[in-house]
């Protein structure tokens, strides 16, 4: 480990705003998997828990605090087994299906299109619908977007009205398949690229609804897949609209491998640093996927979307292995903060990102206890909440100097943004054991005042539970003081900090 004797320094030019950090980089993902939908969002209209038409009220209220910008649904791998007509009409008449990917359980389709759109309206979130390319048809996908967004008396609009919704919805985001290299069809890149062009053609804009079509992209560092999709778009130097508007990729962080991903709470310091090393890889992938895209699209007409990311651990003992339920510790929160710093640096190309997943699955915001009905906010939830000031703000370059390293991995991560006469700085001390003094070298504008909030705990393994719901939570922090160069911060070990600035010219 390399630990400089002096303070670290973060240099920020407050008067040099960069690309806008889209709020959609803070997007979410809800799949029909485990207890994410059923027992998470959806409790049904007969539930004793407070709800709105079957949608759990306290979950909605907690997520509204995060101002979640979009919600991806119905999958994931489930999307390419999902046939939307099975999830409309009277619930008691909807056909059942087998959720073969996730637990081999029977799905009764009680949560379908109307329920999802109701959920998005309650959350104030834009719907991001993933269409079925793997086992569906072009016609099926074309009719779904018509059902959702057409306002006249077309066949699908009439069917929607017959199911109780008169006005069309707005659906701005549409996924063309999911993981087509694996559970979405086991296709090769060039073969899927042709399918993406075909399906995108039939995801039509109806009325004034304009769809942003996202082609299912690469598995982590498969840059050849991104090249296949970009090549399929042809020339992007003219004014002809591209047939799809974005490509995606997926990347998960773990301390082990796919056979043994590591434990969510029982990990040591060595495993922690392996996790941080793997989390840092997202920066390389964002850079290299962007480079592939830049060669064919220097004007950045096509967006990059990371619509599945987060930690993936072995499931909690005694739970269904197919339900992917895991606890969420301070380590997960630091993985999230590191990702967001990378997202902010790539705001010129990265247009959306979706944490996997919102409730009760993988790196969730919320855990619900099936026995007591208790709702628990995770450490990752708090990072999302502390970062809401970055939504749609202008990015600021944060130069991190003298950070110290662990096996060449930087131990300090930072990013910043500005909106009008305010700025928000995010700092993560990734050192497991040592606190760090950090000088915020603030240039170009005058800092009139500041406030700070800190997220940490006594150990990296600390987590929230129904019996200890606030073991990890943000608190006001007074360890930020004036310095001749701007501000100085005494940053505790394994901690995440946000500093809000009021500025003048």
CA distance 13 to 18: 10
**How many separate domains does the chain show?**
2
Identify whether residues 186 and 327 lie together within a single domain. yes
Number of C-beta neighbours around residue 170 at 10 A: 17
Could you tell me the CATH number of the domain that includes residue 169? 3.20.20.80
128 found inside a domain:
yes
User: Band of the pLDDT at 18, cuts 50, 70, 90?
Assistant: very high
Q: Which residues contact 78 (CB under 8 A, 6 or more apart)?
A: 31, 32, 33, 99, 101, 102
pLDDT at 6: 82
Are 377 and 62 in contact, with CB atoms under 8 Å apart? yes
pLDDT tens-digit map of 249-267: 999 999 999 999 999 999 9
Could you tell me the CATH number of the domain that includes residue 476? 2.60.40.1180
How buried is residue 138: exposed, middle or buried, by Cβ count under 10 Å (0-12/13-18/19+)?
A: middle
194 found inside a domain:
yes
Are 211 and 127 in contact, with CB atoms under 8 Å apart? no
Are 104 and 89 in contact, with CB atoms under 8 Å apart? no
User: Band of the pLDDT at 145, cuts 50, 70, 90?
Assistant: very high
* From 115, 179, 227, 385, active-site residue: 179
Identify whether residues 115 and 184 lie together within a single domain. yes
Identify whether residues 355 and 410 lie together within a single domain. no
Are 282 and 250 in contact, with CB atoms under 8 Å apart? no
Which residue, of 360, 391, 422, is where some domain finishes?
391
Identify whether residues 159 and 198 lie together within a single domain. yes
38 found inside a domain:
yes
Alpha carbon 287 to its chain centroid, in Å, reads 18
Identify whether residues 325 and 472 lie together within a single domain. no
331 found inside a domain:
yes
Identify whether residues 360 and 418 lie together within a single domain. no
Number of C-beta neighbours around residue 209 at 10 A: 17
The Cα-based distances of 265 to 39, 272, 290, 341, 432 in angstroms read 23, 10, 34, 24, 15
Q: What is the mean pLDDT of residues 108-133?
A: 98
What is 412-470 written as a DSSP string?
Answer: EEEEEEEETTEEEEEEEE--SS--EEEEEEEESSEEEEEEEEEE--SSTT-B-BTTBTT
Give the DSSP H or E segment for 123. Answer: helix 113-123
CA distance 299 to 28: 28
Which residue, of 371, 391, 411, is where some domain finishes?
391
227 found inside a domain:
yes
Triad 178, 183, 185: Cα angle to 5°: 80
* From 308, 317, 407, 470, active-site residue: 308
Q: What is the mean pLDDT of residues 166-185?
A: 97
Identify whether residues 370 and 417 lie together within a single domain. no
283 found inside a domain:
no
- Given the DSSP bridges, would you call strands 436-443 and 486-491 parallel, antiparallel or unpaired? antiparallel
Q: What is the mean pLDDT of residues 91-105?
A: 95
Percentage, residues of the chain above pLDDT 70: 99
Q: What is the mean pLDDT of residues 354-378?
A: 97
pLDDT tens-digit map of 434-445: 999 999 999 999
Identify whether residues 366 and 406 lie together within a single domain. no
Identify whether residues 38 and 127 lie together within a single domain. yes
Are 172 and 165 in contact, with CB atoms under 8 Å apart? no
pLDDT at 330: 98
Q: Identify the three-state secondary structure at position 106.
A: strand
The residue assigned the tokens 């619509």 is 307
pLDDT at 3: 64
Per the annotation, the verdict on 407 as an active-site residue is no
Are 93 and 87 in contact, with CB atoms under 8 Å apart? no
445 found inside a domain:
yes
pLDDT of 90 higher than 70: yes
The Cα-based distances of 407 to 111, 269, 273, 278, 436 in angstroms read 47, 13, 9, 13, 18
CA distance 67 to 24: 10
Give the DSSP H or E segment for 487. Answer: strand 486-491
Per the annotation, the verdict on 308 as an active-site residue is yes
Identify whether residues 147 and 225 lie together within a single domain. yes
The Cβ-side half-sphere exposure at 404, using a 13 Å CA radius, reads 22
pLDDT at 240: 86
Are 168 and 147 in contact, with CB atoms under 8 Å apart? no
202 found inside a domain:
yes
Paired tokens of 184: 């979405």
pLDDT at 235: 78
Mean pLDDT over the full length of the chain = 96
In 331-374 the beta strands, taken as DSSP E runs, fall at: 350-356, 366-368
Closest by Cα among 201, 207, 206 to 215:
201
| Helices and strands in the chain: count of H runs, count of E runs | 9, 28
What is the domain extent for residue 403? 8-13+397-504
Identify whether residues 55 and 191 lie together within a single domain. yes
Identify whether residues 135 and 190 lie together within a single domain. yes
pLDDT tens-digit map of 278-299: 999 999 999 999 999 999 999 9
Number of C-beta neighbours around residue 504 at 10 A: 8
Which residue, of 391, 422, 451, is where some domain finishes?
391
Q: What is the mean pLDDT of residues 93-98?
A: 96
Are 343 and 69 in contact, with CB atoms under 8 Å apart? no
Number of C-beta neighbours around residue 53 at 10 A: 12
pLDDT tens-digit map of 466-488: 999 999 999 999 999 999 999 99
């Amino acid at each position: 480990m390399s630990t400089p004797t002096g303070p670290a320094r973060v240099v920020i030019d407050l008067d040099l705003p960069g690309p806008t950090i889209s709020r959609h980089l803070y997007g979410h993902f809800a799949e029909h998997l485990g207890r994410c939908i059923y027992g998470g969002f959806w409790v049904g209209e007969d539930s004793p828990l407070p709800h709105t038409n079957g949608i759990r009220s306290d979950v909605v209220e907690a997520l509204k605090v995060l101002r979640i910008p979009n919600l991806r649904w119905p999958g994931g791998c489930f999307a390419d087994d999902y046939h939307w007509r099975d999830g409309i009409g009277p619930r008691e008449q909807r056909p059942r299906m087998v959720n073969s990917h996730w637990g081999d359980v029977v799905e009764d389709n009680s949560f379908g299109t109307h329920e999802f759109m109701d959920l998005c309206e309650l959350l104030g979130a834009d719907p991001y619908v993933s269409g079925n390319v793997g086992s569906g048809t072009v016609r099926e996908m074309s009719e779904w977007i018509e059902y959702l967004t057409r306002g006249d008396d077309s066949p699908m609009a009439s069917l929607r009205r017959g199911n109780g919704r008169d006005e069309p919805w707005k659906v701005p985001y549409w996924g063309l398949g999911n993981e087509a290299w694996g559970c979405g069809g086991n296709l090769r890149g060039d073969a899927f690229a042709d399918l993406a062009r075909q399906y995108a053609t039939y995801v039509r804009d109806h009325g004034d609804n304009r769809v942003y079509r996202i082609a299912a992209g690469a598995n982590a560092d498969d840059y050849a897949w991104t090249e296949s999709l970009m090549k399929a778009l042809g020339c992007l130097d003219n004014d002809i609209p591209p047939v799809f508007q974005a490509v995606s990729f997926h990347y998960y962080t773990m301390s082990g491998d796919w056979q043994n991903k590591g434990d969510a709470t029982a990990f040591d310091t060595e495993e922690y640093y392996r996790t941080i090393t793997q989390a840092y890889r997202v920066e390389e992938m964002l850079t290299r996927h962007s480079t592939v895209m830049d060669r064919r699209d220097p004007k950045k007409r096509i967006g990059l979307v990371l619509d599945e990311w987060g930690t993936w651990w072995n499931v909690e003992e005694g739970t269904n292995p197919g339900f992917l339920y895991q606890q969420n510790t301070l380590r997960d929160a630091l993985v999230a903060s590191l990702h967001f710093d990378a997202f902010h640096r790539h705001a010129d190309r990265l247009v959306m990102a979706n944490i996997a997943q919102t409730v009760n699955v993988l790196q969730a915001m919320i855990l619900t206890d099936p026995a007591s009905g208790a709702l628990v906010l995770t450490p990752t939830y708090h990072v999302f909440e502390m970062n809401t000031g970055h939504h749609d703000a202008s990015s600021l370059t944060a130069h991190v100097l003298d950070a110290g390293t662990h096996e060449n991995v930087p131990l300090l991560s930072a990013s910043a943004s500005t909106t009008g006469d305010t700025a928000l700085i995010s700092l993560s001390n990734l050192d497991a054991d040592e606190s760090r003094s950090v000088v915020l070298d603030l240039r170009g504008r005058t800092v009139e005042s500041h406030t700070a909030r800190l997220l940490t705990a006594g150990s990296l393994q600390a987590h929230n539970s129904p019996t200890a719901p606030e073991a990890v939570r943000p608190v006001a922090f007074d360890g930020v003081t004036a310095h001749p160069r701007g501000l100085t911060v005494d940053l505790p070990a394994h901690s995440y900090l946000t500093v809000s600035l009021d500025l003048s010219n």
